[in-house]
Amino acid sequence: MSWDGEKAGRRWLSRMATVGTAILAGWGLALLLMPALPSPQEAWRMAGVQLPQSSGAEEGTAGGIAAALGGLPPESEVVPASAPAAGKKAEPKSGSPPSALPGDAGQIVFTADDPAGDDNGPGTYTYPQDAAFTPRGLWDLRNFTVRQGTGKVTFLLKFGAVTNPWGAPEGFFHQRVDIYIDTTPGRGETRPARAGANVMFDPAYAWDVLVRVAPWGGSGLYKAEAGHGGAGAERTASSSTAGGAGAAVRKVLGCTPEGVRAGVLPDGQTVAVQVPLAAIGAPQRNWRYYVLVGGYDGFGPDQYRLVMKAPGPWFFGGGDDGNADPNVVDLLAPGGGKYSQKAQLGSFKVAENRQAVIHPINCPEVEAENGRGGLWRWLPFGRSL
């Protein structure tokens, strides 16, 4: 099947996603109304969340978490299980409050800023044209922070904007984030867990752990199996299409009250994902982080919204109609230099059907390029900013 044909097929599938969204919204609503199954908000509370210790450098976070403990949004503010038909103007419900959030987020152990206004992939990508994809900043990662608390590791992803037009129970809808972590030198995977992001990972920093972030219960913790890091396992787009095999991975935890939990901080801009410490381990100084931000599409490959050559109501534009171009619109990376987002995401080759190779933050090469006063800081556990 040609790339064009294949992508056209997926384009059709994604048009059907509006129907899917309605169904999913229905599930989400049912989940909220079902007493036997706690909503994520209830789950936070069931877990006995506590207020984090304020370190004085977390304006809008600590106080926000306190506000979040108020509980579920009023029923009147739950978005009805409906979605606009393709081509019809969507009416995002901006009045919905963000979901309640994980408390006891603990101390910051790693934090990195990302440039504002760069949710354009290699510099050319444009937003889908439907009104649901407003305002600007939905995919513009601004900050990535890791906190270690009692029995939990929390990943905080601050965006330019977060909206929830179809009432996903997590409080966000548009963001599809993968946090791939190289925790163990010399082993791991250089391919994504599933085909979809359309990128390859630096073989020198093959990933071992994936924190998958998606609405509608799509978040989870995965680990690479044996892996083949360092083997120069580069592959072309032909082996990484939607139906192709992803990396050998094991699902460790799904999105459950005892597993991985996701929500939005009351600042309305920060997606938070909490993972049990026992499952992921204590963050270490030498953990390398790949943070990939794409658009969520329940019917997209690995739930990534496709990037096409021409923009459409439901697709990003400014890419290519094949599968060499990344479906990643923002990448945690320095603002310039050899490892800038533009350089990394732009390293794909359509003619050779070759995907971009990306590099993690907090590795010596990128750190050197980042220069003095870099974007990120490692903070020994127990120390406040």
Stretch that binds Ca ion, among 31-39, 138-146, 148-156, 317-325 (CB under 5 A): 138-146
Residues whose CB is less than 8 angstroms from the CB of residue 113 and which lie 6 or more positions away in sequence, other chains included: 142, 143, 375, 376
Q: Contact with Ca ion (CB under 5 A): which of 65, 112, 132, 141?
A: 141
Rounded Cα distance between 159 and 174, Å, is 11
Q: For the CB of residue 367, give the shortest distance to Ca ion in the complex, in Å.
A: 16
> Which class for 35: exposed (0-12), middle (13-18), buried (19 or more C-beta within 10 A)?
exposed
Stretch that binds Ca ion, among 89-97, 165-173, 294-302, 326-334 (CB under 5 A): 326-334
Nearest alpha carbon to residue 207 among 153, 247, 258, 256? 247
Query: Could you say whether residue 320 binds Ca ion (CB under 5 A)?
Result: no
Angle 347-351-353 from CA coordinates, rounded to 5°? 70
Nearest alpha carbon to residue 28 among 20, 17, 39? 39
Is the separation of the CB atoms in 304 and 326 below 8 Å?
no
> Which class for 172: exposed (0-12), middle (13-18), buried (19 or more C-beta within 10 A)?
buried
The DSSP element (H or E) to which 284 belongs, if any, is none
Closer to Ca ion by CB, 116 or 310: give it: 116
Query: Could you say whether residue 153 binds Ca ion (CB under 5 A)?
Result: no
Residues 112-131 contacting Ca ion, CB under 5 A: 114, 118
Closer to Ca ion by CB, 120 or 183: give it: 120
Q: For the CB of residue 173, give the shortest distance to Ca ion in the complex, in Å.
A: 19
- Calculate helix-pair angle for 17-33, 3-15, nearest 10 degrees: 40
Residues 85-114 contacting Ca ion, CB under 5 A: 114
Closer to Ca ion by CB, 159 or 299: give it: 159
Closer to Ca ion by CB, 125 or 173: give it: 125
Q: For the CB of residue 120, give the shortest distance to Ca ion in the complex, in Å.
A: 9
Stretch that binds Ca ion, among 124-132, 168-176, 336-344, 351-359 (CB under 5 A): 336-344
Closer to Ca ion by CB, 97 or 137: give it: 137
Closer to Ca ion by CB, 148 or 370: give it: 370
3-class secondary structure per residue, 119-148? CCCCCCCECCCCHHHCCCCCCCEEEEEEEE
> Which class for 295: exposed (0-12), middle (13-18), buried (19 or more C-beta within 10 A)?
buried
- Per the DSSP assignment, residues forming a β-bridge with 356 are 199
Q: For the CB of residue 261, give the shortest distance to Ca ion in the complex, in Å.
A: 24
Here the tokens at position 87 are 């081509």
Stretch that binds Ca ion, among 62-70, 93-101, 136-144, 272-280 (CB under 5 A): 136-144
Residues whose CB is less than 8 angstroms from the CB of residue 45 and which lie 6 or more positions away in sequence, other chains included: 69, 71, 100
Stretch that binds Ca ion, among 45-53, 132-140, 266-274, 348-356 (CB under 5 A): 132-140
Q: For the CB of residue 159, give the shortest distance to Ca ion in the complex, in Å.
A: 8
Closer to Ca ion by CB, 130 or 140: give it: 140
Residues 340-359 contacting Ca ion, CB under 5 A: 341
Closer to Ca ion by CB, 254 or 336: give it: 336
Stretch that binds Ca ion, among 80-88, 133-141, 307-315, 375-383 (CB under 5 A): 133-141
Query: Could you say whether residue 330 binds Ca ion (CB under 5 A)?
Result: yes
Here the tokens at position 318 are 């400014």
Is the separation of the CB atoms in 212 and 255 below 8 Å?
no
As a dihedral over the C-alpha atoms of residue 148, residue 150, residue 155, residue 159, rounded to 10 degrees, the angle is -100
Q: For the CB of residue 332, give the shortest distance to Ca ion in the complex, in Å.
A: 6
> At residue 345, what is the residue type?
L
Stretch that binds Ca ion, among 10-18, 141-149, 166-174, 226-234 (CB under 5 A): 141-149
Q: Contact with Ca ion (CB under 5 A): which of 58, 104, 140, 208?
A: 140
Here the tokens at position 166 are 């179809």
Rounded Cα distance between 251 and 266, Å, is 30
Closer to Ca ion by CB, 249 or 292: give it: 292
Closer to Ca ion by CB, 21 or 341: give it: 341
Compute how many residues bind Ca ion; rule: CB under 5 A: 6
User: Could you list the residues that contact Ca ion (CB under 5 A)?
Assistant: 114, 118, 140-141, 330, 341
